Structure 1
Amino acid sequence: MDSRWWSHALFYQVYPRSFRDSDSDGVGDLDGVSAGLDYLESLGVDAIWLNPVMVSPMADHGYDVADPRDIDPLFGDLAAMDRLVEAAHARGIKVTMDLVPNHTSSAHPWFQAALAAAPGSAERERYIFRDGAGPDGSRPPNNWLSIFGGPAWTRVTEPDGSPGQWYLHLFDAEQPDLNWDNPEVFADLETTLRFWLDRGVDGFRIDVAHGMAKPPGLPDMPTAKPEMLLAEMDDDPRFNHDGVHDIHRAIRRVFDDYPCAVAIGEVWVYDSEQFSRYVRPDELHLGFNFRLVRADFDARDIRSAIENSLAAVDLVDAVPTWTLANHDVERPPTRYGGGTAGLARARAMALVMLALPGAVFLYNGEELGLPNVDDLPDEALQDPVWERSGHTRRGRDGCRIPMPWSGETPPFGFSDHPDTWLPMPPEWAALTVEKQLADPASTLAFYRRAIGLRRAREEFSGSAVEWLDSPTDVLVFHRSGGLVCVLNAGAVPIPLPEGEVLLASGPVLDGTLPPDTAAWLV
């Protein structure tokens, strides 16, 4: 078996509650994922990444884990997970899970024990409890704010009923941060890792992989912004501390007992040298580099993002990763301007991404060209960002709408229940899997062709990227296996370089590439 299968894999991110519903409750589940495996196999994916399916009160849609070694009934049970792993493996598809080591749910038995215990107790030492500031301890211990909005500290009532200490939660109040200076914390994580790896899971995406180690002494932030966005974590002084690398080295030692498994870090760090530390040979196998997600549809910005990503991994001879979408960011067709132009640019960027060496991550529905749904009614919003920001930030629900599979009206084959966990827009009737499979000009057909070529053609081999001369608004690079990728991010058509057009994201006429279009040449 290829122990480095992940170095060239195409991962498909499954947001389980939005992929497919098997039990008619309006929420996707694990048996729904199993039911979609034939579709994923035909798309050409090598692995799936499941967002959290562990036991959780769902304050943050599973990123608040109450029992990391069991499946939440919303998604099924351990038997359903075992069925999914077995069925995926039978199709040659790997299965990776989300791991949330920075914090637990406030419903976790450890945290409940901490609330029932006294200050300074062993139970509280698993988390980050501190006395409050001021003579009566009524102010938070420092000026830190939550990533989701509001303070990053919540005061507890002590067992005797008196006002008590404060606990840290960089995210929601129902997500208390763990104290990674406590050896019990890693010991429990190791148990969790081995539990799932022994059941056949092929690896983990590690949530907030740059966040577990806190700055010594928890000093005030120089500037505490009223809103701390997820995408700003790269320059947040509470993250990316040296101690986190000891944690990843300890995690890697567990993975070394499972040589075909992969550890993938969510690393919001943009400095090349700093990022490279996470993917050194004794730490993570892969790290998400989010520069391409954040790049504007601008040739210079896109090239800079690619160069940064390649430079970071080249420092330590690691493998680059590429993604344009996930459950935390606006969907590409909307992010690139919306409408026809936004979709054209999203398709063009897909060709750029798939032409690059390394591992690629697609987000469910990306292959359908789904846009963000930004007009959800207020009462439908579920992301904790909405409440914690005082209804000033609508959160991430717009990129998490369930997948449209078939039919002319919601819920489009996603569920038998008419009321899905987030409402589906009627205009998605034109974007269903069923309709796009029947249309050779559809976005889905385009992705299937692109992925198939990436898997089959020798031109996609080789790890080196050479930039070729091009006009200011154009991007041209040569992959060492022989592929040439051209992106026209300008306003006028351009002549294509010499070569056979293998695939283009839009019409190519008389040897010219229109604006908002990319092409592969050999």
Structure 2
Amino acid sequence: MTHQWWRDAVIYQIYPRSFADASGDGYGDLRGVISKLDYLRDLGVDAVWLSPFYTSPMADAGYDVADYCDVDPMFGDLADADALIAEAHERGLRIIVDLVPNHSSSEHRLFQAALAAGPGSPERENYLFRDGLGDEGELPPNNWTAVFGGRSWTRLTAADGTPEQWYLHLFDPEQPDWNWEHEPVRELFDDTLRFWLDKGVDGFRVDVAHGLVKAEGLPDQVSTDSDLGFQTGPQWDQDGVHEIYRRWRAVLDGYDGDRSLVAEAWVEDPERLKLYLRPDEMHTAFNFEFLDCLWDADAYRKVIASTMAANESVGAPTTWVLSNHDVVRHVSRLGLTVPGSSHEGLGLRDEQPDNVLGLRRGRAATLMMLALPGSAYLYQGEELGLPDHTTLADDVRQDPTWTRSGHTRVGRDGCRVPLPWLADAPAYGFSPTGESWLPQPDSFEELAADRQVGVAGSTWTLYRDALRLRREFGLGRGELTWLDAGEHVVGFDNGDVRVLTNVLGDPQPLPEGWTVLLASADVDGELPTDVTVWLQRV
């Protein structure tokens, strides 16, 4: 059987508006991505995942899609998308695009048609409209809360000012949820998959994969707490989602080239998450339990072992990740007093992380992750050791979490700040005009790509060397054997490579008979605190 690329691939996430701006308007675009493909090839990744670049009013930075089969002018046009796919393939890079199936934009033509058609119309079956409770329908249909804050229901008002039905939105009011019990919605997404597969994309990252189907009758949730962490309740992780993914898998399997699906499913129980990975459903799913892990050796051992065991039981690889566009970058998470304790955004009034210490731990965490069997995702800029921008001024924040929460949660802008390419250029080379849709911190100057690419000891070079050795030693395809290396050391063998990560422990001697392949910091006969080393037998 031919090896399936997605089983051990390292995939680089691009958040397009913050990656590289070719047009000069201060927003990244597809031409900017094309201009940096050589950089990604040289880094050594196997594939690129692009966050949404579709037509959108940008209420949630493109995750409110108005047209799934077109490109928003902010990012370019369909010709640019075609060029990007072709240019990436020429360099041996695969392309994964984001699919946002839980909700659309309120400006989507089908939602606008539903508004115009009125209660009881066939058009309203595409979304989740309901009459309200109370004598006059003045109460929402249930007590669900939105991920971004506030309730999950918004009431409409008719043209004559009369209060009308309510519609469901698990996120922002401008992101109404699709009704996945309605066959035309399923057909719409079949067509969307085929549109992009016909253009040559290699797979899809499925946004909110655990949210499409809601419990029958839309019952109240027991707890009204909701955040960007693991999500439970009648609106999440319902068994009905699996029928949808079996259908999608059949679509992908009808194409040549080993196309893949990766689930963004915030499902805490590995036994529930593995259901998404059965042989006829998704190929991979992000391991958010690993991302959420505290900087604690025992916690890492347990998470790695439990998630790998669950995935192996359905024949699926484990997909490792430490950072993405929704969480505090791991350099900053690991620099907190309780390292790794918060993936919510950090702002001016929050604890400020020690990013020097966080970078030391972040490099160690990355080397541990990249030595594990399975696939891995990197978030743009982590190869530069970028921290979150935790001192953004309140008046520049754009994440709907900030406004919907009544300014009690700062949101995700801090991890979405445009990348620094050139230390001495305006906007650090992100844009030829010096424009930048979010301000960059001063710390980005010394972390800019031109200060790091090919420089010995830099974080970029560490990532490049790790990816080269990972491929050379077949670590993504390997098997993990645990070592008893002490209370504070995560130790395992993967084929011919021994991996030791000292998590908060005292320095300890390196084992005799082994030579250092790669280390996250200087080692001289011993494994220092908060350092990972890859060893090969002499």
2:484 to 460, 466, 469: 469
1:215–1:241 contact (8 Å) kept in structure 2: yes
CA distance in 2, matches of 1:417, 1:142: 49
Deviation of the 1:438 alpha carbon:
5.2
Contact 1:336 1:346 in 2 (8 A): yes
CA–CA separation in structure 2 for the residues paired with 1:437 and 1:465 = 31
Of 314, 323, 326, 2:324 maps to 326
Q: Is the 8 A contact 1:99 1:207 kept in 2?
A: yes
Matched residue, 1:508: 523
Name the CA distance, whole Å, in 2 between partners of 1:438 and 1:262: 32
Q: What do the CA deviations read for 1:244-297 (whole angstroms, capped 9, x no partner)?
A: 101111111111112411111111112122111100000001111111110011
Does 1:190 pair with 2:205?
A: no
- 1:245 correspondence with 2:242: yes
Deviation at 1:44, TM superposition (A): 0.3
**1:53-202 map, 5 Å:** 53-202=53-202
CA distance in 2, matches of 1:461, 1:397: 32
* Structure-1 residue corresponding to 2:33: 33
Work out whether 1:494 is the aligned partner of 2:492: no
Match of 2:11, as an amino acid?
F
Q: Which amino acid aligns with 1:413?
A: G
TM-superposed CA distance for 1:19, in Å, is 0.5
Instruction: Please tell me whether the aligned partners of residues 354 and 360 of structure 1 are also in contact (alpha carbons under 8 angstroms).
Output: yes
| Percentage of matched positions with identical amino acids | 52
- 2:422 corresponds in structure 1 to 406
What secondary structure sits across from 1:86 in the alignment? helix
- The within-5 A match list for 1:223-302 is 223-225=223-225, 228-233=226-231, 235-259=232-256, 260-302=258-300
AA at the equivalent of 2:392: L
**Mapped partners of 1:198, 1:502: distance in 2:** 42
Find the residue that maps to 2:166 and give its secondary structure: strand
Counterpart for residue 482 of structure 1: 496
Counterpart pick for 2:314 among 293, 313, 316: 316
CA–CA separation in structure 2 for the residues paired with 1:487 and 1:3: 30
1:428-467 matches, cutoff 5 A: 428-437=444-453, 439-458=455-474, 460=475, 462-467=477-482
The code of the aligned residue for 1:238 comes to Q
8 Å contact from structure 1 (residues 467, 476) kept in 2: yes
Cα deviation per residue 1:361-402 (whole Å; 9 max; x = unaligned)? 000000000000011111110000000000111000000011
For the residues of structure 2 that align with 1:149 and 1:170, how far apart are their CA atoms? 9
Contact kept, 8 Å, 1:264 with 1:287, in 2: the verdict is yes
Bigger shift: residues 463-472 or 85-94: 463-472
Kindly indicate whether the alpha-carbon contact (under 8 Å) linking 2:126 and 2:184 is maintained by their aligned counterparts in 1: yes
Distance 1:368 1:118 in 2: 52
What SS does the corresponding residue of 1:70 show, helix, strand or coil?
strand
- CA drift of 1:315 comes to 1.4
Correspondence for 2:394 among 366, 378, 382: 378
The farther-off stretch of 331-340 and 461-470 is 461-470
The farther-off stretch of 1-10 and 100-109 is: 1-10
CA distance in 2, matches of 1:160, 1:199: 45
Give the superposition deviation at 1:427. 2.4
CA contact (8 A) 1:131 1:166 kept: yes
Residues 461 and 183 of structure 1: CA distance in aligned 2, closer, same or farther (over 3 Å): closer
Q: Report the counterpart of residue 350 of structure 2 in structure 1.
A: none
CA–CA distance in 1 between the matches of 2:378 and 2:134?
49
Give 1:73 deviation, angstroms: 0.5
TM-superposed CA distance for 1:461, in Å, is 6.0
- Is 1:520 equivalent to 2:534 in the alignment? yes
Secondary structure at 2:122's aligned position in 1? coil
CA contact (8 A) 2:421 2:450 kept: yes
- Indicate the SS of the match to 1:230: coil
Q: Does the 8 Å contact 2:473/2:496 carry over to 1?
A: no
Distance, in Å, in 2 between the alignment partners of 1:462 and 1:404 is 33
Tell me, in whole angstroms, the C-alpha distance in 1 between the residues paired with 2:377 and 2:278.
21
- Distance in 1, Cα, partners of 2:477 & 2:95: 26
Q: Is the 8 A contact 1:268 1:290 kept in 2?
A: yes
Q: Distance in 1 between matches of 2:477 and 2:11?
A: 19
CA–CA distance in structure 2, aligned partners of residues 372 and 142 of structure 1: 36
TM-score (norm 2): 0.94
Distance 2:306 2:158 in 1: 49
SS across alignment from 1:386: helix
Q: 1:344 aligns with which of 360, 366, 370?
A: 360
Please say if residues 470 and 476 of structure 2, whose CA atoms lie closer than 8 Å, have aligned partners that are also in contact.
no
> What is the aligned counterpart of 1:422 among 438, 459, 464?
438
| Distance in 1, Cα, partners of 2:476 & 2:66 | 43
Which range moves more in the overlay, 154-163 or 369-378? 154-163
When residues 412 and 104 of structure 1 are mapped into structure 2, their CA distance, relative to the original with a 3 A threshold, is same
Kindly indicate whether the alpha-carbon contact (under 8 Å) linking 1:490 and 1:515 is maintained by their aligned counterparts in 2.
yes
State how far apart, in whole Å, the 2-side matches of 1:461 and 1:450 are. 12
* Contact 1:205 1:265 (8 Å CA) reproduced: yes
Residues 117 and 159 in structure 1, CA contact (< 8 A), matched pair in contact too: no
Task: Return 5+ residue gaps in structure 1 as ranges.
Answer: none
Measured after TM superposition, the shift of residue 491 of structure 1 is 3.6
In 2, Cα distance between equivalents of 1:93 and 1:263? 17
After superposition, the C-alpha distances for 1:297-356 in whole angstroms (9 at most, x for unaligned) are: 110111112112202201101111001000001001100013221101000011110000
Structure 2 residue 412 is the aligned partner of structure 1 residue 396: yes
How far apart, in 1, do the equivalents of 2:17 and 2:433 lie? 13
Task: Give the TM-score normalised by the residue count of structure 1.
Answer: 0.97
Distance in structure 1 (CA, Å) of the matches to 2:155 and 2:421: 46
Contact 2:24 2:435 in 1 (8 A): no
CA distance in 2, matches of 1:387, 1:159: 27
**8 Å CA contact retained: 2:384, 2:449:** yes
CA drift of 1:462 comes to 4.4
